[in-house]
Structure 1
Amino acid sequence: MGEARRRASQGLPPRRPRPDPAEAERVVSWLPLSKAQTRQFMAVTTRGAWIGIGALVLFWVVVRFIGPAAGWWTLADMP
């Protein structure tokens, strides 16, 4: 209690407790997600979406061009 007595003798207000990082900057008070967690979630899902788009384009190129050219299958719309 030395710090508290020193502050009181100097006329300083008592120290405020440090904010809990789990409680800091919540998106909604009743939802246990912080703003940093929402930013991280958006970054991960955006990266995942771009990876999915790239995989879909690669799959389409294989089905449409590489497979028929290699003789693995024939397309139904080509005579």
Structure 2
Amino acid sequence: MGDSKRRKENLGEKYGEEANVYPWLPIKKSQAEQFVKLSTRGAWVGIGLLVAYWVVVRFIGPGLGLWQVN
């Protein structure tokens, strides 16, 4: 008997189901990967917005006469 048949017999109905990240945490591995992708994309968007804000405050604002330093 092959290893996959033995594993299938041992797992029964749970055979082929995706495993949890941790046994006590009801989050599947694919869901964890999706969260990492989403949070990485969100971090890059935040960095881009921070750079855009910096450019406005540092260069565009003083050029338009806004935020004058006395």
Alignment TM-score > 0.5, same fold: yes
Aligned length: 60
Please name the residue that 1:58 is paired with.
Answer: 52
Residue from 17, 20, 30 that aligns with 1:36 = 30
TM-score (norm 1): 0.66
TM-score (norm 2): 0.73
CA distance in 2 between counterparts of 1:17 and 1:63 reads: 60
Question: Quick one: percent identity of the two aligned structures?
Answer: 48
Listed as ranges, the gaps of 5+ residues in structure 2 are 1-8
Greater helix fraction, Structure 1 or Structure 2: 2
Matched position secondary structure for 1:36? helix
Listed as ranges, the gaps of 5+ residues in structure 1 are 1-12
Greater strand fraction, Structure 1 or Structure 2: 2
CA distance in 1 between counterparts of 2:15 and 2:43 reads: 35
CA distance in 2 between counterparts of 1:72 and 1:59 reads: 14
1:69 aligns with 2:52: no
Question: Cα distance, 1:19 vs. partner?
Answer: 4.3
